[in-house]
Every structure is written in C-alpha cells, then in structure tokens.
Amino acid sequence: MKIFVTICLLLFSAVLLAQKQTYKTNITKNFPVSTTTTLFIENFNGDIEFELWNQNQVEASVTFEVNTPKAEKAKQFLQAFTLNAYADSNSVKFISLVNRDFLDKSFKNGRSDFKIHYHIKIPVYLNLNIKNKYGDIILAETSGAIYIKLKYGKCTINHITTDESKPIPQIDLAYASFYVQKANWLTINADYSVVKVNKVLGMTLQSNYSDVVVDDIYSLKITSNYDRIELKNISKFYSNLNYSHVNIGFLKLELQATAKYSPIYIKDLYEEFTTLSCDLKYSDFTAKINAQACFNINSEVQYGKNNLPRRSNVDNIITPTSMKTTGTVGCIKGATSQVNIVAKYGDVNFIE
C-alpha cells in the first residue's frame, strides 16, 4: 500500500512539474500620426485588438507570451521575440519577429507554445494595413482606407465608414471568419471561410468553399465556387456560380446569373423588379412571386421543365428535349419587368 501511495505521489508531482506556466514580456511604442498615415502590422500566433481614442498618435502595447513547463528556460525563450517598430512621414510599421534559435523542440511537439498579442490605440481616421495569422482582429470602427489579410482567425468590425474619397476596403480571408455590422463598400476574397455582413451598400466577393450570409445589401457582385450563399434582402445581384447554392430572401430589382451546378432560390421576388437574366447549366431556378407580379418572359429550357403560374399569356414551342417560351406572366400587356433565361439540365419555376 505504501509503495502504491508513493508511486501516486511521484506521478502527481511529475504532472505538476509538466504543467505549462505562462511567462510574459511587454513592449510599448508611440508614434504621431495624421490623416495621411497608414499603420502596417504583421503578426502571427496572437490577437490584434484596436481601441479608439482622440489623440493624433498610435500607441502599440505588444505582449510576448510563452507557455512552457520549462521554467528554467523561460527567460531564454522570451529572448526569441522582438518588435520591429519604425515610422516615416506616411507610415507606422510594427512587425513581429521570432528568432527560433532561442526556442527548443518543445515548441514543435506542443509542450511549449507562444502568443504575440497587440493592443493598439488609434484615431478612427487612421489608414490600416493589417496581416495576421493564427489570431483574431478586433476593431470597433474605422473611416480610413483598410486592407486586412487574415489566415486562421476571426475578424470582427462594427462599423466601416470609409467613404468614396478613399479606396474600397479590401479583406482577404483564408480559413478565417469575417463579421461586420455596417459598411459602405467592401471587396472580399474568401477561401474556406465564413463571411457575415449585417448591412452594406455594395460588395464585390470572390469566394471558394465558403459560407456567405448578408442581411441587407444593395448590390453584390460575386464569383463563387462551392459556396453556400444566403442573402436576406438585396436589390441587385450579379453572379458567376459554380457548384454553389444561393438562397435569396427578398430580391428587389435585378439578377444576372451564370450558374453551373448551382441552384438559385428566391423566396420573395418584388413585383416591380427590372430584369432577371440567367444562363443555367445543371441548375434549378425558383422564384416565388405575388399576385401583383407582371413581367415579360423569354426562356429556353433544354432537358428540364419551365413551370409558370396559370395567369400566364405565353407561346410555347415544345420539342422532345426543349421548351421555348415567350410572352407575359401575370398580365396581358403593360409589363415593364423582363425575364431572360437559358437553362440546360435544370428546371425553371415561378411560383405564386
């Protein structure tokens, strides 16, 4: 029994000794800035958090953090980290650097790890060029020109109020998430990522293997591959779709789509929309319309069906493999809305 207790105590002591302890060092830098200044940050393995203030300067507090069971080497490990900070008339730059000669194998096998965290105080107007990998970016608001490149992390921004006097904000994502409450214009490249936008005036999106959710948008131009796209309220939608899936809650004005293996579903098509123009292959198109809908239609469906409401005044040319339809839906004459659809190996459905 005594031997058993002794062994347990030794094992418990070994576990305690093997537990990671946290060791930190901090650097703070200040630089003056103006409306023409761009802040550049290059970081990895840590978060970048911004705080707004009313001073015409940027203050960066950078924390280097080591988590290791090797207390005797903690001081050596911390010597691996430096901050390259410098400024000129138009820019301020912070670059995280690691000299791996000061680290050992425990950082490769997972027994030890490190983090580099930034807490940045900036004026709201400051232009931003931020690159981060394996970490998050948190920002309340910006009115400056911004470029963000994020890999393996989450970017959260409340308001992007950049106006037409500056370049359109650009966001590049890989295996990352991007959340924004409100913006004017955005350009986003997303690979294996999540994009969620509450309200935006216009957005250009290049996406692959991603989830895209937009609550309220006026105009979206998208090139999409293997995505899931949900648009709750949109006026204009321009798309090139491959192996994607599109759900639209309410479409007000215009849709132009080239789609391959990409079904498109519109829950509510506004009765005064302007144009729908689709070139579809292996892709179903479905739009729900109300009793006030009235539009001209010119469609050709091969190896599929063209389903229209009863109150349609159309001419059909039917062959064993195709159907050409011209006429009006919802009225006899006076239609100003136009539908042009070419579909192959897919169904076209307008449902009341």
CA-based nearest residue to 146, from 122, 166, 171, 128: 128
- Mean pLDDT computed over every residue of the chain: 93
Give the 3-state secondary structure of the chain: CHHHHHHHHHHHHHHHHHCCEEEEEEEEEEEECCCCCEEEEEEECCCEEEEECCCCEEEEEEEEEEEECCHHHHHHHHCCEEEEEEECCCEEEEEEEECHHHCCCHHHHCCCEEEEEEEEEECCCCEEEEEEECCCEEEEEECCCEEEEEECCEEEEEEECCCCCCCCCEEEEECCEEEEEEEEEEEEEEECCEEEEEEEEEEEEEEECCEEEEEEEEEEEEEEECCEEEEEEEEEEEEEEECCEEEEEEEEEEEEEEEECCCEEEEEECCCCCEEEEEEECCCEEEECCCCCCEEEEEEEECCCEECCCCEEEEEEECCCEEEEEEEECCCCCCCEEEEEEEECCCEEEEC
Rg of the chain over Cα atoms, rounded to whole angstroms, equals 28
Q: How far is CA 175 from CA 113, 195, 209, in A?
A: 21, 11, 10
pLDDT at 286 over 50: yes
pLDDT at 14: 46
pLDDT in tens, 231-285: 999 999 999 999 999 999 999 999 999 999 999 999 999 999 999 999 999 999 9
pLDDT at 142 over 80: yes
* pLDDT-above-90 percentage for the chain: 88
Question: Residues 67, 68, 72, 76: is their CA dihedral positive or negative?
Answer: negative
**pTM value?**
0.90
Distance in angstroms (rounded) separating the CA atoms of residues 273 and 142:
34
For the chain, the residue count is 352
Going by pLDDT thresholds of 50, 70 and 90, the confidence category of residue 210 is very high
CA-based nearest residue to 301, from 323, 285, 316, 279: 323
pLDDT at 18: 63
Q: What is the mean pLDDT of residues 1-10?
A: 46
pLDDT at 3: 52
Side chain identity at 50, as an amino acid letter? Answer: F
Distance in angstroms (rounded) separating the CA atoms of residues 159 and 131:
19
248 touches 231 (CB < 8 A): yes
pLDDT at 20: 87
Distance in angstroms (rounded) separating the CA atoms of residues 21 and 112:
9
CA-based nearest residue to 42, from 98, 4, 101, 1: 98
181 touches 199 (CB < 8 A): yes
pLDDT at 13 over 90: no
136 touches 176 (CB < 8 A): no
pLDDT at 4 over 80: no
pLDDT in tens, 164-207: 999 999 999 999 999 999 999 999 999 999 999 999 999 999 99
pLDDT at 253: 97
In the chain, what are the domain boundaries? 21-133
Distance in angstroms (rounded) separating the CA atoms of residues 337 and 328:
10
Going by pLDDT thresholds of 50, 70 and 90, the confidence category of residue 111 is very high
Distance in angstroms (rounded) separating the CA atoms of residues 27 and 342:
62
pLDDT at 8 over 70: no
pLDDT at 298 over 80: yes
* pLDDT-above-70 percentage for the chain: 95
Distance in angstroms (rounded) separating the CA atoms of residues 118 and 124:
17
Neighbours of 205 (CB within 10 A): 23
Cα 307 off chain centre by: 35
